[in-house]
A and B are shown apart, each in its own frame.
Chain A
Amino acid sequence: MSDQRPKQNTPAPFSPEDMARRRRRSIALALVLAGLAIFFFVVTLVKTGPAILNRPL
């Protein structure tokens, strides 16, 4: 029995070179996000002052 479903208009698959580019982009984005986390941590420390570390356990 033949498949009567309409064909999906799928995009052309990426070439290996395109995949490598997208992988490099993903790595760069991960590094930026990690940098942002460090950035917010340091800025919070500076804004709040060293007393933020002096809290009762």
Chain B
Amino acid sequence: MIPPIAGASDFSEKWDPLFGPMFEAAGLTGPPPPFPRAPSRGVPEKGGPHAAKTPAPSGAVHKSTKTIGLMSAAFETRTESLTASTGEARDFFALLKPRVMSLVIVTALTGMATAPGTVHPVLALAALLAIAVGAGASGCLNMWYDADIDALMSRTAKRPIPSGRILPSEALAFGLTLSVGSVLVLGLIANVLAAAMLAFTIFFYAVVYSMWLKRWTPQNIVIGGAAGAFPPMIGEAVVTGNLGWHSLVLFAIIFLWTPPHFWALALVKSGDYARAGIPMMPNVAGPAATRRQIVLYSLVMAPVAVLPALMGFGGMLYLAVSVSTGLVMIALSIQVWLRTEGAAATKACWSLFGFSIIYLFLLFAVLLVENGFGLMWALPKVLG
């Protein structure tokens, strides 16, 4: 294990005394064990609670530890030497995770469109903007907290904070300002329930997932996936002021979609996650168990994705799309399960990861078109 880096600010030490008693009071297992904190700037300890079942080749750990120490030190030095950043507007926009935000916009809008009620189009647009900014703010807070491990992973090293374009303090202020602002605006233009749900979503992603689950348990993205699944419920709350079955089904679809989507990526990038000390499922349970779970989640998710058609808020077009693309998702998952070695395995993972994005987008886009543009009423319904 590498020694702590001088000057490294570990915010978890400040948060644990606050949230530890809260988790214990809720009957949970208490504050995270020592694992998540120390390895966040290095590799998991040998034989630790989440030590990888597939040991690294001899010498690899030592080499990577040294490299990580240098990279982390470089990150700390870079950010500490800056007194004012030269980040541009696009860097601040990148902090909001625009790709995640676009998915949030589609899913929240679908939640509004499928809700039993109507809302003024201008207010719907304004509420959507507030939800998108709130989601972006939680992404920004996530990047602020994870800047140390982002610097260690090839996929995230070029993000604005680890690359030194934006100061951590700037990102924190930006994220907090947008969080408070988006919740207040949504409360003013929609209702208290929608604002409270947005606030909870931001808290869940930035604190429960980023600060607690991500570095602690291999179920991190399973539980944390709820944060990404809330937007349709917020959308329904904007329209009706209540929560109903429609948005609950949409929540379930996103929630069940998250594990196959992320684990396909984690299988390919398991080296990155191991270097950063993130206990992703492939690093903890092993690739074989992860592949089995991907198939299981896909087998549960595909039928659940058909439910909107059976419940009457998805039409024939949705039925056709959800069944056909659901079958493709299952087929790609089985391919990931069967192809375990070499380039074929990597290709299978990327295929599942890429298609899973198209799959979710298609499901919600079709629901949106059918409900938002009245197409469902022009097409025969599945039931009634």
Whether A39 pairs with B89 at a CB distance below 8 angstroms is: no
Chain A interface helix/strand/loop/mixed: helix
Residues of A within 8 A of B92 (CB): 25
- Interface contact A21-B83, CB-CB below 8 Å: no
A47 at the interface (CB under 8 A from B): yes
Q: How many A-B residue pairs have CB under 8 A?
A: 31
With A39-B126, A46-B123 known to touch, is A25 a contact of B189 (CB < 8 Å)? Answer: no
Within 8 A of A (CB), among B80-138: 83-84, 86-89, 92, 120, 122-123, 126, 129
Give the residues from 12 to 45 in chain A that come closer than 8 angstroms, CB to CB, to chain B. 14, 18, 21-22, 24-25, 28-29, 39, 42-43
Q: Which of A14, A43, A46, A47 has the most CB of B within 10 A?
A: A43
Report B-chain residues with C-beta under 8 Å of the C-beta of A11. Answer: 83-84
Q: A39 CA to B128 CA in the complex, in Å?
A: 13
Interface size class of B (residues with CB under 8 A): 10 to 19
- CA separation between A18 and B84, bound complex, in Å? 10
Pick the residue among A21, A42, A47 that contacts B86 (CB under 8 A).
A21
> Nearest residue in A to B82 (C-beta to C-beta)?
A11
Chain A residues near B (Cβ < 8 Å): 11, 14, 18, 21-22, 24-25, 28-29, 39, 42-43, 46-47
- Per the bound structure, the CA–CA distance linking A28 and B120 in Å amounts to 29
Also in contact, A25 and B87, with CB within 8 A (given A39-B126, A43-B189, A47-B189): yes
Contacts of B88 in A (CB 8 A): 21, 24-25, 28
- Once the chains are docked, how many angstroms separate the CA of A18 from the CA of B83? 13
Report whether B87 and A43 are in contact in the complex, using a CB–CB cutoff of 8 Å: no
Once the chains are docked, how many angstroms separate the CA of A42 from the CA of B120?
12
A46-B120, A47-B123 given; A28·B189 CB < 8 A: no
Residues on B with C-beta less than 8 A from A24 are 88-89
Task: Find out whether the CB atom of B87 lies under 8 angstroms from the CB atom of A46.
Answer: no
Smallest CB separation, A22 vs chain B (Å): 6
Nearest chain B residue, comparing its CB with the CB of A42 = B122
User: Closest CB of chain A to B133's CB: distance in Å?
Assistant: 11
What's the Cα separation between A24 and B129 when bound, in Å? 24
Chain B residue with the shortest CB-CB distance to A26 = B89
* CB nearest neighbor in B for A24: B88
Minimum CB distance partner of A32 in chain B: B89
The 5 A-B residue pairs with the shortest CB-CB distance, nearest first, are A28-B89, A11-B83, A18-B86, A46-B122, A21-B86
A18 to B86 CA separation, bound complex (whole angstroms):
6
Q: Say how far A44's CB is from chain B's closest CB, in angstroms.
A: 9
Q: Is the beta-carbon distance between B86 and A14 smaller than 8 angstroms?
A: yes
User: Are B86 and A22 neighbours in the complex by a CB distance under 8 Å?
Assistant: yes
Min CB distance A32 to B, Å, is 8
Q: When chains A and B are docked, how far (Å) is the Cα of A28 from the Cα of B93?
A: 11
Contacts A25-B87, A47-B123 given; 15 further ones with Cβ under 8 A?
A21-B86, A24-B88, A24-B89, A25-B89, A25-B92, A28-B88, A28-B89, A29-B89, A39-B126, A42-B122, A42-B126, A43-B122, A43-B189, A46-B122, A47-B189
Residue of B nearest to A39 (CB): B126
Instruction: For residue A38, give the distance in angstroms from its CB to the closest CB of chain B.
Output: 11
Could you tell me if B126 and A43 are in contact, using CB atoms closer than 8 angstroms?
Answer: yes
Question: How does the 8 Å CB contact mask read for B69-89 relative to A, with 1 for contact and 0 for none?
Answer: 000000000000001101111
Residues of B within 8 A of A46 (CB): 120, 122-123
